[in-house]
Chain A
Amino acid sequence: MFRLRRCPTGDPGRGLGVSHPAAILQFETEIPDTPAGAIGLEPSGADDLAWILRYATEHNLPVDVRGGGSHHGFGTPDPSSLVVSMKGFDGVVEWNPDDLTVVVGAGTPVASLEAILAERSQTSVLPEVPGAATVGGVIAAGLSSLRRARLLGTRERVLEVSLVTGDGRMVTAGGRVVKNVTGYDIPRLTVGAFGSLGVITSVCLKVLPVPEASATILLDHPGQAAEANRPLAVLESNDRVEAFLWGTEPEVEAVAGRIGGSMRRGLDWPADPEGALRWSLRVPPALVDTAIGILPEKWRFLAVRGAGDLRLASDSRAGAGELRDWAESVGGSLVVVKAPPSALPDFDPWGRPPPGLELQRRLISQFDPARIINPGRLPAGL
C-alpha cells in the first residue's frame, strides 16, 4: 500500500497553466530548416522550456532541439512538430577562474566560450574546431576534443548539469566542484544521450589552464611521437601525421627536439574531413593503424591516435558495410554522423543495438515518459 505525494513541478510557465495552442505561440520564432507543419519556438529560460515540454508531452508532440545545428545528422529522427531553439540559453552564468570551473548556458557556442576562457588562459577542452556547435549540443551528441587521448573526452568535463525533463521537471545533478560523489552521476549519463533524459539548459564544466608554450610538429611517421611521454595529441590524416605538445617553455622545447620533424609554434588543429557522407569510426586504440589500413578507397580520415576515434568522410557508401562488420567484430562501431536524406537506405545509422536495451529504455522513460525529446536520434529506437 502506498500513498501518492504530489510531486512539486515548479511554476507552470508564468501562470499560463492551461494548455492551449495560443499560449505556445508566444514563443514562436523563425528557425531555419523547420519542416513544413512544424512550429519553431525560442524559449528564453528554463521556465518557458519546461512549459513547452509539458505541453508537448500532454499532446504527444515530438520536439527537435536545436543548438548550432552542426551535428544534426545523427540517427533517424521522427518528423518533429516543434522545433526548439536553445539560443535563449546563451552565455556564461558563473565563472570563478581560480576554481577552474565555469557554469555556462547550453546554447552558448563552444567558440564563444573558448574565447572568453582564453582571456584567462583556460580551456574547456571541448572540440577544437566547433563551427557553430553549442556547449549543450556537443554534450548531447557526445562529441569530444582532439586532445582526448591525453585529457580524456567530454564526459570528464561535465561536473553539473541542469536539464528540463520531457514532462517538464527542472532537475539539477552533480555539483560545481571538481570532485564529487554526491548521488548518481546523472551529468555523465547526459553526455551522448541526445536529450533523452531532458533538454540540457546549463552545465558546470571543469576547465584547464592553458600552459605557456605549445607546438605543432609535422612527423614523418607516427612512431616518432613515442619520444614524448604523453603528448597532447597525435593526429593522423590522409596526408600528414602531426604531434601536438603543450607545457612549460623548456619542456616543449626539449620534447620537440627529441621528436624531430618540423615544428611550428601554437596548436594548429585540423578540422574533421568533409564529404557528402560523414562517419565516426570507434575502435580500440591499438587498432587505429589497422583501421586506417582497411578504409575504403578515397575515404578521408582524421584519426586521434591513442583514443581509437576516427572521423571519416566519403562521397559514397561503398565499403561501409564491410568496415562496420570489422569494427563491430573488434568491439567498436561505425556511426553515421551526416548523410543526405535517403542516401543510406537499409543502413542503420548506429549499427548493432547497444547492450541492456530494456534497461536503457526504462531509464529514458523515467525522464521523458512520452518520449518527445529528439525521438529517433538514439540507436535501436531508444
Chain B
Amino acid sequence: MSLIADLRALLGDDRVLTEPVELHIYSKDASLMRGAPTCVALPDTAEEVAGVVRIAERHQTPIVARGSGTGLTAGASPINGGVVISLTRLDDIELDVDNRAAWVGAGVINLDLSVAAAPYGLYFAPDPSSQSACTIGGNIANNSGGAHCLAEGATTSHVLAVEVVLQGGETVVFGGLAPDPPGLDVKGVIVGSEGTLGIVTRALVRLLPLDPDVRTLLIDFPTLEGATTTVSEVVAAGLVPAALEIMDQNMMVAVENWLHGGFPTESAAVLLAEVVGEPEAVVAEAEVVSRIARANGAREVRLAASEAERAQLWLGRKSAFGAMAQVSPDYYLHDTVVPRHVLAETMTEVQAIADRHGLVTYNVFHAGDGNLHPLIPFDASEDGMLEKVHQAGQEMVEACLSRGGALSGEHGIGLEKRDLMPGSFSEIDLDAQARVKEAFDPAGLFNPAKILPEGSRCFDFGGVRREIPDGAWV
C-alpha cells in the first residue's frame, strides 16, 4: 500500500490531509522557509503517533512534528517533504496539585496550562511571547524561553518527564515526579532537540505557586545605552528580577500605533522590569531598580498601578513581533545571547552594522539574559534586499559570537541557523552532537536537515543531496 493509504487505514480519511491548499498551510512555520509535505497526519493519541512513525519508517519518509507552527527557524518546515505530524489534538491537561505538576499533551497551548492551573494558585513559568498560540510540545522542542525565564529558567528547567515516540514507534517515558531518575538524563537531551530525536507526545511539567506580590516598572531612557547599562548593573547588584525587557523607540512606535498603551514613544528606549515575591521583597527590589535606572539617566519610572495596566504593558511587549506586520512585509530576526557585561557595546555594534548596510533595526529583547532580538524589516520583493539583510545578519551574529556569545538563546537552530553552527563549535564538537542524533535516529528520518550542518558526523554521504528551496538562507 502507499504511504497515504497506510495512514488512512490507521487514522481514517479525514485525519490525513493531502489537498494542495491543506499541504500549503502546513508547508512552513513562522520563518521564511517553505517545504512541501507529502501529507499531514492528525493523530489523536500517542499510540496513533507511534503508528504514524512506524508507517513513515516503512516508507522511508521523513517525519516532521508540528505544534502551532509559531517557530522562527523553520524547525517545523518539511524541507525534505514527508509526513507532517500535527500534534495539536493531543491537548489533555491533568493537574497534580499536590506535587505542583501537570501531565500535558504536546498540543496544549502554553497559556491554556497556566489558565487551567490558576484556580489552584499555580502557573507554568515559561512564557514565550507567542504563549497564547504556541504549544507545550513546541516549547519542549525549542527549549523556549520568554520574558520570565530570567529568574525561573527556560522550558527545560520545568520539564520533569517526557513521553516520547522513538524510532520504530517505541514509546518511552523518561523522567518522573521523583528527582534524579537513575541512568542517563535522556529527557534532558530530548528537550531542545527540535523533533530530530523523536516525537514528544506528553510531558510532565513543573508548576510554580503564583507570586504573592508583583511590581512592574516601565522606565524610559533618553539613550538605548542607558537602558542596557541599567540591566547590567541591576544583575551585577545581585538582584534577579522576574523580567528585564528592553524595547527601543522604533519598536515602541510600532506597538503604540495599534495598542495605545501609553508607551513613551519620544524616548530612545524603555526598560520593562518586573520584581515578584513577598510584599516586603518587591518594595525593596523595585527601589533598587529605580535607583540604578535614575543613575543611568532614566527620565521617568512608572509603576503599573493596577493589574490592568500591568497586563497592558505586557501585551505591548509580547505583541511586538505581530506589530511588525504594519512596518514591512518581511522581517528577519536574530536570537543571539551575549555575556551580560558586553550587552551595551554589542547593541552599539549591531546598530552600526545596520547603519552601514542602510538598514533599520527594531529591538525588543530579553536584556536581563543578554538575549538580543535585533529585527530587520524588509521587503523581499526588492532586488538584492534579501542578500543585503542576510549579510547584515551574518555580521551581527559574528559580532555576538566574537564576544563569547551563543547563536540562539530560545528560538532554536532549525534550518535557518544550521549552517552558522561551525561559528560556535569545532568539528569534533559537531561530530559529538551528530553522534547523539545517530544514537536516537540512525535512519535520519526525524526532522532531517535540522540543527546540524551537512557532514557533521565526519561521515559524508556522497551522492545524496538534500533539497533546499530557493531563497532559503542556509
Contact = CB atoms under 8 A, between A and B. Distances in A.
A180 B337 contact: yes
B239 interface: yes
B105 to A, nearest CB: 20
Interface of A is mostly: loop
A251 B341 contact: no
A71 to B, nearest CB: 13
B189 A189 contact: yes
A191 B432 contact: no
B179 A181 contact: no
A353 B183 CA distance: 8
Interface in B119-160: 142-143, 145, 149, 153-154, 156-157
Given A181-B410, A181-B413, A248-B280, A169 B432 contact: yes
Interface stretch (A60-68, A267-275, A355-363): A355-363
B348 interface: no
A2 B455 CA distance: 11
A2 B459 contact: yes
Contacts of B463: 1
Contact of A229 (B99, B188, B191, B278): B278
B31 interface: no
A255 B278 contact: yes
Interface stretch (B309-317, B386-394, B422-430): B422-430
A230 B191 CA distance: 26
Instruction: Kindly name the residue among A10, A210, A284 whose own CB sees the greatest number of chain B CB atoms within 10 A.
Output: A284
Instruction: Kindly name the residue among A175, A183, A364, A378 whose own CB sees the greatest number of chain B CB atoms within 10 A.
Output: A183
A250 B232 contact: no
Contacts of B440: 359, 362-363
B370 A360 contact: no
A378 B183 CA distance: 6
Interface residues of A, number: 98
B458 A100 contact: no
A309 B153 contact: no
A251 B153 contact: no
Contact of B143 (A6, A169, A185, A333): A185
A47 interface: no
A111 interface: no
A371 interface: no
Contact of A156 (B157, B182, B183, B405): B157
A366 B439 contact: yes
B79 interface: no
B367 to A, nearest CB: 12
A350 B239 CA distance: 40
Interface stretch (B108-116, B168-176, B264-272): B168-176
Nearest to B208: A230
Contacts of B142: 181
A284 to B, nearest CB: 4
B462 interface: yes
Contacts of A172: 425-426, 429
Nearest to A335: B182
Given A171-B432, A209-B238, A229-B278, A183 B413 contact: yes
B157 A152 contact: yes
Contact of B184 (A153, A209, A280, A382): A382
Interface string A284-315: 11100000000000000000000111000000
Interface of A: 1-10, 96-101, 121, 142, 144, 148, 152-153, 155-156, 165, 169-173, 175-186, 188-189, 191-193, 196, 208-212, 228-230, 247-251, 253-255, 280, 282-286, 307-309, 327, 330-333, 335, 350-351, 353-357, 359-360, 362-367, 378-380, 382
Given A96-B339, A333-B181, 5 more contacts: A171-B429, A181-B408, A212-B238, A359-B172, A360-B183
Interface of B: 96, 98-100, 142-143, 145, 149, 153-154, 156-157, 166, 172-174, 176-186, 188-189, 191-193, 208-209, 211-212, 232, 235-240, 277-281, 283-285, 337-341, 366, 369-371, 404-413, 421, 424-433, 435-440, 451-452, 455, 458-463
21 contacts: A5-B458, A121-B238, A175-B405, A179-B406, A183-B430, A183-B433, A209-B237, A209-B238, A209-B240, A228-B278, A248-B281, A251-B281, A283-B177, A285-B100, A327-B178, A331-B177, A333-B181, A351-B182, A354-B182, A356-B174, A366-B432
